[in-house]
């Protein structure tokens, strides 16, 4: 049996990410939407030496979600001058369903 997928959740106002676990071997779209609070956008990033995806709320800024300083700083080189609002989840490429 496959191990559940894991990811790292960056929450606004918190300096360190929290490890989260999927219900199965991969994160489902429904799980991702619940974690980030809406429609998702997946940004390719490097995290801990591996190519991964940064999953964010596609409409976070429009919805007035809080600035996520820790995630914005951690992934600034991949954001082209942009910033992250709301929760941000980092998962390895194979962890998406």
pLDDT per position as a tens digit, 1-40: 578 999 999 999 999 999 999 999 999 999 999 999 999 9
Residue 31 DSSP SS3: helix
Over the stretch 39-82, which tens digit does the pLDDT of each residue have? 999 999 999 999 999 999 999 999 999 999 999 999 999 998 99
Rounded distance, CA 92 to CA 11, Å?
18
- Global pTM reads 0.93
Task: Inform me whether the pLDDT recorded for 97 exceeds 90.
Answer: no
Dist CA 62 CA 7 (whole Å) = 25
Asked whether 46 and 53 are in contact (CB, 8 A), the reply is no
d(CA 25, CA 72): 28
pLDDT at 2: 79
């Amino acid at each position: 049996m496959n191990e559940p997928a894991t990811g790292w959740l960056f929450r606004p106002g918190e300096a360190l990410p929290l490890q989260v676990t999927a219900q199965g071997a991969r994160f489902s779209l429904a799980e991702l939407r619940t974690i980030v609070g809406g429609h998702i956008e997946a940004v390719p990033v490097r995290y801990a030496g591996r190519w991964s995806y940064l999953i964010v709320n596609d409409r976070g800024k429009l919805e007035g979600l809080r600035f996520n300083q820790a995630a914005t700083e951690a992934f600034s080189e991949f954001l082209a001058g942009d910033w992250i609002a709301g929760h941000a989840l980092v998962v390895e490429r194979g962890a998406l369903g």
